[in-house]
Structure 1
C-alpha cells in the first residue's frame, strides 16, 4: 500500500512518518507538494499514485489565523480543495485531519460524529469546516478524522508551552479552567490511523481523541505531576486570559463511530500523556 502524507514535517505528520508500518510512505511537505498549487498537487499525486492520502497539512496556529485570515483560508480550505480533487482523480482514499473546533462548544455533552457542526467560533475553525465540506463533495472515498488538543514530539503544543514556562522564573502560572476537552497525543492518533488504513470500509467522519476529559488547568497540573515539577498553577477563566481567537468552552468529542464499529478504543488521555513524557527526553521536547 502506498500512503502519501501532506504536511509531513508538522507535528502529526512527523509522528506518522516515523511510526506507520506495512506501507510505502511518501512524506510530502511544502517543498515536495505545495497544496495551494493545484497543478503541483495533481502532478505529484499522479506521479506517485498513492492508495491513501493522509492530509495533515494545515495552518493550525489558531490565533495567527485571526490576523492572517487570507493565508488561513488559502491553506486550510483552498489547499484541501486541491488535495481532495487530486485524490479523487487518481482513485485514492483521502483521510483528512480535522478539528474539534468545528463545533461552537455550546452543548452540555461531548459532540459525536452525527452532531451537525456550525462552523465554530474563529477563522481557523471556519476554514477547517469549509475543508470538511470540500472533502465530502469532491472525494466520496474519504474519512474525516477529527482530533483535539494535540501534542507530539516536535511541537509546538500546550505541553511544550507548559514545560517551557515552568523554568523556575515564575512563582505561579494561571491556566484556563473553563474550557474542557480531550488532550490527545499524536502517537495515539497515529496508532489509530495505522488500524484505519486496514479498514477501508470505514468512510465518513470519525473522532480520534483520547478518552477522558480535562480542562487546560487539569492538563497543566497533570503535566507537572508526571514530570515531578513543583510549579504552582492557578485556575482562571477565559475572560481573565483573552486571546485573539475565541475558543469553545466544550471541546469534548465522543468516539461514537469507533464504539459502533467495535474496531478499537482510543487510550485514556492521562495514560497517553504519561507514555509521551516518559518516552521523550526533555531536551527533545
Structure 2
C-alpha cells in the first residue's frame, strides 16, 4: 500500500513512519510539501499516487493559533481543504488527524460522543472542527480521527517537545515541583498505541471517530499512577485546585463507536502500565 503522510517530523507522524514501514510510506515535512499550495499538493499526489493520505500536519500550538489566527487558519483549514480536494480528485482515501480540543467548552462531565453539537471556544478547536467539515465536504471517503493527548516514554529527537511522561520524569530527575490539575479530565493515550491502530483505521467507513484511550482519572491522579508504576517514592504531586475550578475541563472521549468497528485501546491507566513496564516493546 502506498501511503502519503504530512507533518512527518511531528510527534505522531514521525512514529507512524516507523509503525507503517511494511508499506511504501512517503513522509513529507512542510519544507517538502507546502499543503497551503493546492497546486503543489496536486503535483505530489499525481506523481506518487497514494492509496491513503494521512494528514497530520497542522499548527497545533494553541497559543500560536490565538496569536496568529489568520496564519493558523491558512494551515489548519485552507491547507486541509486543499488536501481534501486533491484526494477527492484522485480517489485517495483521506485520514485526517483531528483533536479532542473540539470538545472543549461543551457542558457535562460524561465522555464525549462523535454526534455532539460542538462549539469550541478557542481558535485551534474551531479550526480543527472547520477542517473536519472541509474533509467531508470535498472528499466523501474521509475518515476523521479525533486524537487525544498523546505521550511517549522517551523523546525520539532532541528538538521534540516533551510529553506528559517525559515531562514528569524529567521534573523528578531535576527535583522540580510536580503540579497538575484535579479538575482536568482527558483521554491520555500512548502514541505507539495510536500508531499501531492506524492501519486498522484505513478500513473504517467515512465519518468521525474518537481515537484514543478512555480515562476516568483526573490529570493529577494520572501522574500519581505513573509515579507508582515507576516505583518512584518520596515525590509528591501538588494538587492544582485553581485551574478549571470554575468549569471543569472534560475532554474524555467515548470509544463505543471505534470499538464497534473492531479497534480497541487500553484505558489510560492500562496503557501507562504497559508502556512503563520493563519488558514493554516499541513497534
Normalised by the size of structure 1, how large is the TM-score? 0.87
Alpha-carbon spacing, 1:106–1:142, altered in 2? closer, same or farther (3 Å):
same
Secondary structure, aligned partner of 1:50: coil
Secondary structure, aligned partner of 2:173: coil
Listed one character per residue, the Cα deviations across residues 46-101 of structure 1 (whole Å, up to 9, x for unaligned) are: 11011110111111122232223223212211111111111111110000011111
Secondary structure, aligned partner of 2:95: strand
Q: Distance in 1 between matches of 2:79 and 2:95?
A: 14
CA RMSD of aligned residues (A): 2.4
Q: Distance in 1 between matches of 2:27 and 2:59?
A: 18
| Alignment pair present for 1:90 and 2:104 | no
- Aligned equivalent of 1:192, options 170, 191, 197: 197
Contact 2:183 2:244 in 1 (8 A): no
Look up the match of 1:169. 175
Contact 1:106 1:248 in 2 (8 A): no
Look up the match of 1:235. 239
Listed one character per residue, the Cα deviations across residues 16-56 of structure 1 (whole Å, up to 9, x for unaligned) are: 10011542111111122122222211111111011110111
Identify the range of structure 1 (222-231 vs 83-92) with the bigger mean alpha-carbon deviation: 222-231
Q: Distance in 2 between matches of 1:65 and 1:266?
A: 30
Alpha-carbon spacing, 1:177–1:184, altered in 2? closer, same or farther (3 Å):
same
Structure 1 segments of 4+ aligned residues over 6 angstroms from their partners: none
Q: Distance in 1 between matches of 2:209 and 2:238?
A: 35
**Structure ranking higher on relative contact order (CA contacts 8 Å, 6+ apart):** 1
Contact 1:101 1:248 in 2 (8 A): no
- Aligned equivalent of 1:204, options 203, 207, 210: 207
Q: Which runs of 5+ in 2 are unaligned?
A: 156-160
Look up the match of 1:113. 114
Secondary structure, aligned partner of 1:32: coil
